[in-house]
Amino acid sequence: MADTTQYWKVSLAPAGIVITVHGHDKERAAHKAVAEFNVLARDYVGPFTIVGDVREMTGYESDSRQVWQQAFRNHRARIRGFVLVGARSPLIRMGAAAVGAFAAIRVRFVSSWDEIDGAIPKDV
């Protein structure tokens, strides 16, 4: 039987804000995570990077992607970039690219957390 558990975690890291998702990204669950992201982004001092840990993500709804891209767009003036860790699915990679394009922020993909330092933009 497939694991249908879904959870979100939005937290601070030295480079910025980490968004972790497990399972299928549903709009109704994303709203709470987006609200948490908005608070952290508003209160973050200076520019920041968003790191999406999607190693355990299995898919997403289009409405959920739209909620995230609007949130990122609202904060884009201070976002250095969006780095996804473990986006193996072409669908998830395509969705992340759409979020980045809509919000006008750079998106990078890495396979593991070991590669994260080289992917985080140093410039604003």
Domain extent for 32: 7-119
Give the Cα separation of 112 and 92 in Å (integer). Answer: 16
Q: Give me the pLDDT at residue 7, please.
A: 76
| Residues 82/107, Cβ–Cβ less than 8 Å | yes
pTM of the model: 0.88
Number of domains in the chain: 1
pLDDT (tens digit per residue) in 2-54: 445 567 899 998 879 999 998 887 777 788 899 999 999 999 999 999 999 99
What number of other Cβ atoms are within 10 A of residue 11's Cβ? 13
Q: What is the CATH number of the domain that holds 43?
A: 3.30.750.24
Q: How many CA atoms does the CB half-sphere of 18 hold within 13 Å?
A: 13
